[in-house]
């Protein structure tokens, strides 16, 4: 089994969900430091969607086989070994840097 690390894209089913939460078997990207997933089965993930909406916290995937936008305003904590998941790919370093910079803004005082 592939080790899930920061920047890994997996497909996983997180149902049941409610309201505007992303539903079904879908891609998510791991954003936490890799040490978290090395020592536990839990990670912080952002869903990937093929939405057409433009929004500062929706970041298009580039340089990947996966398509869509990373929805940084819908972060979730996932115990990924408690569910069926499939490793897809890892993103490039420059895209990971952009995602982490935008996530940081979400948690700034304001």
pLDDT tens track for 14-56 = 877 667 656 678 999 999 999 999 899 899 999 999 999 999 9
Mean pLDDT, to the nearest integer, of 76-103? 94
What is the dihedral sign for C-alpha 34, 86, 14, 24? positive
Average of per-residue pLDDT values in the chain: 92
> CATH topology for 8-106?
SH3 type barrels. (2.30.30)
pLDDT given for residue 21 in this prediction: 56
List the domain boundaries for the chain.
8-106
pLDDT at 107 over 90: yes
pTM of the model: 0.90
pLDDT given for residue 41 in this prediction: 87
Burial label for 87, CB within 10 Å (0-12, 13-18, 19+), is: middle
């Amino acid at each position: 089994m592939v080790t899930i690390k920061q920047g890994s894209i997996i497909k996983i089913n997180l149902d049941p969900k409610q309201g505007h939460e992303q539903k079904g078997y879908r891609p998510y990207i791991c954003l936490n430091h890799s040490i978290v997933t090395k020592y536990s089965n839990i990670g912080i993930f952002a869903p990937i969607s093929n939405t057409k909406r433009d929004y500062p916290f929706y970041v298009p995937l580039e340089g990947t086989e996966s398509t869509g936008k990373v929805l940084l305003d819908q972060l979730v904590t996932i115990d990924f070994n408690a569910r069926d998941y499939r490793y897809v790919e890892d993103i490039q370093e420059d895209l990971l840097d952009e995602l982490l910079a935008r996530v940081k803004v979400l948690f700034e005082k304001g």
